Amino acid sequence: MKAAIQQNRMRNALRAATDHLATGLAILATLLVVAPLFAIFGYLIYKGASSLNLAFFTQIPKPEGEVGGGMANAIVGSGVLLAIASCLGVPIGIGGGIYLAEFGRGTRLANAIRFTADVLNGVPSIVMGIAVYALIVFREKHFSAFSGGVALGIMMIPTVTRTTEEMLLMVPNSIREAALGLGVPNWRSVLSITLKTASPGVITGCMLAFARVAGETAPLLFTALGNQFWSVSLNQPIAALPLQIYIYAISPYDDQHRLAWAGALVLIALIVIAVSLVRYVASRGILKGAS
Amino acid sequence: METSLEPPSGPGSGISSPASSPATGSGIAAVASNSPVSDVRRFLLARGNSALADRIFSLLMLACAASIFCIVAFIASELISQSQMSWHASGLAFFYKFNVDPQTGLPLFWDPVNGVFYALPFLYGTLVSSLVALVIAVPLAVGVAIFLTEMCPRFLRGPLAFLTELLAAIPSVVYGLWAIFILVPLLREHINPILIDTFGAPLVVRLFGWTGLVGDNGLFGGVNLGLGLLTAGVILAIMILPIIASLTREVMSTVPHSQREAALALGATRWEMIRIAVLRNARIGIVGSIILGLGRALGETMAVAMVIGNTAEIHRSLLSTGHSMASVIANEFAEATSDLHRSALVEIGLALFVVTILVNGLARLLVWAVTRSNPVRVN
């Protein structure tokens, strides 16, 4: 009897110890995950902030080995590329989302499209780059800003489609029914009632896709190619911030490493602002204005 | 005109059916009472003004949605047509054959100057770096997910979720930059010497020498450059962690509370509850999220290209340099020396495309199976 109680007590102590051990390991894992994040941000701010100056935003790159210069052309180039990408990706993506949420809900076709969009989201960006290279660069025989924008735009479509769909599904049916009951045609009801109600969510979804492609380098390597000089022509190779960071990071010059850190800081700042905005809007809920 | 009014349908299909009926219904009533109009005009008023627009609108939206199919088809067709030349040159042997260098006697896989194009070292590099990443990332990600769903105090949950989200939003090239200047020196100076000493220790070699994984020719032998497969694996692990962690968290939060309560009511400790109720129920979804992370690791380009060392060779040691499928494309495509070279790179891209489609499709199916249907299991 006494031995059994003793044994039981031992076992419970062991169970409690296992429980504590598991808790400790989970906390350790969390710390290990958060650590690189702080390390990355810390170094970015430490190295990037000391290299940021006015010249970074106003000058174009100096020839290799010379000190100074900036990334003005890369910042403008990224803007041009993202503008092309948004013109292509946002309307098509929102249209696709409207179809999934409003017209194809529950149909087999919509499920197939949704599944394909998710899978397409996981296709490596460099594959996207090769495909656009084959479509545009290979046929036109030269690298161009246009082809880079198209590659980024194609990458935006699945993300925008899925977030638009999710946001539209959150709009209550009573709002749709009210619009239809007032005699509004369906297309107007979708565009100016449903989509408008969900617009904060849809816009943040677009911004998320935007932030994602803003940092993409791989599809630009052989479409936009990069450019050391000023160019905003859609038919010429164009510089882009992530491309320039890549080129400078693998270069042997200290001054270019410095510029790479500064560029990375600017890029990250843009992306963090976008993500925080998304989170802020999402936490407020999309329907605050509507209900 | 009475026939144009459709019977009320269920809440689900009510959205997708044309909305013209209530609109035109009221319109007709007004027209009919006020002005004498012909039957034709009445018909046009009833069906014309919004039914056609609605049709066009819905077709337009369908076209947008269908463009996703078109993109996949377009990528596949472009890759296949551009890789024809390489396929005709070496066929399936492209993925496993190699030449032998007459001077050194070493295997020769990839030599653009002499027109030798075999992709084995790239498959090896991608596979090994992704596996290293999974080995590091999976336990950490599951740990974080457990902490966030089961143990975390409420005030920490939001900030921690936000931090992991941020980790997912950092561009690949910034990870690469950080890896070159911080991670590579860190591994070279501090971590790799420990690994080399541990796996090269006489006792370890005597005990495990038969596996071929320890000692100078083992997993951690050779020259310690800092660059290489291990470094690529570590940076990949950091990159896929947030993906696996957030999906695992999502899957775990779909486990009903009644399951947890039942386990606790039977006297389970918290860890036993997590093991019995949460992990058991969510295991399919967790496997799905791990596979999704694998898919991301396989296709990751820039960060890997910056730290893997870029040599088309195969070594047993994780400290040796290598090349991955994505990184070789990134490095050589824009400056491909010949059409055959470019075609071979496209064929590698095609292989990458097919593999990531399969891996992602499988993962999505697994995650869906858990989050969509009721995850409660009795056993």
Q: Which residue ranges make up each domain of chain A? A: 2-51, 58-284
Give the single-character DSSP code of A102: I
Nearest by CB to B53, from A26, A103, A185: name it: A185
Contact B50 A185 (CB under 8 A): yes
* Distances from the Cα of B155 to the Cα of B133, B160, B257, angstroms: 31, 9, 21
Q: What is the pLDDT of residue B297?
A: 94
Give the SS3 label for residue A205. Answer: helix
Q: What is the pLDDT of residue B23?
A: 42
pTM of the entire structure? Answer: 0.86
Asked if A232 has any chain B CB less than 8 Å from its own CB, the reply is: no
A200-229 residues touching B, CB cutoff 8 A: 211-212, 214-218, 221-222, 225
Q: Which residue of A has its CA nearest to B143?
A: A26
| Residue type present at position B346 | V
* Contacts A112 to B, Cβ<8 Å: 69
Q: What topology is assigned to A58-284 in CATH?
A: MetI-like fold (1.10.3720)
Asked if A95 has any chain B CB less than 8 Å from its own CB, the reply is: yes
Q: Report, as ranges of residue numbers, the positions in chain B whose pLDDT lies below 50.
A: 1-33, 374-379
Per-residue pLDDT averaged across A37-46, rounded?
Answer: 90
Q: What is the pLDDT of residue B29?
A: 44
Q: What is the pLDDT of residue B214?
A: 79
> What residue ranges define each of the domains in chain B, with the CATH number in brackets?
2-82 (no CATH), 84-372 (1.10.3720.10)
Asked if A89 has any chain B CB less than 8 Å from its own CB, the reply is: no
What is the percent of chain A with per-residue pLDDT over 70, rounded to a whole number?
96
Q: What is the pLDDT of residue B42?
A: 61
Pick the more confident residue, A111 or B168.
A111
Tell me which residue of A154, A162, A219, A195 sits closest to A290, measured CA to CA: A195
Q: Average model confidence (pLDDT) for chain A?
A: 88
Q: Which residue of B has its CA nearest to A271?
A: B169
Q: H or E element: which one contains B117? A: strand B116-117
B144-203 residues touching A, CB cutoff 8 A: 144, 146-148, 151, 160, 162-167, 169-178, 180-182
Contact A40 B148 (CB under 8 A): no
Asked if B23 has any chain A CB less than 8 Å from its own CB, the reply is: yes
Contact A99 B164 (CB under 8 A): no
Asked if A35 has any chain B CB less than 8 Å from its own CB, the reply is: no
Nearest by CB to A105, from B12, B50, B363: name it: B12
Q: How far apart are the CA of A2 and the nearest CA of chain B, in angstroms?
A: 22
**Cβ neighbours of residue B375 under 8 Å, at least 6 residues apart?**
B254, B255, B256, B281, B282, B285
Pick the more confident residue, A277 or B145.
B145
Asked if A281 has any chain B CB less than 8 Å from its own CB, the reply is: no
Q: How far apart are the CA of A41 and the nearest CA of chain B, in angstroms?
A: 10
Tell me which residue of B296, B283, B284, B282 sits closest to B359, measured CA to CA: B296
Q: Average model confidence (pLDDT) for chain B?
A: 83
Task: Give the largest Cα separation in chain B, rounded.
Answer: 105
Asked if B18 has any chain A CB less than 8 Å from its own CB, the reply is: yes
Q: Distance between CA atoms of A238 and B74, rounded to whole angstroms? A: 25
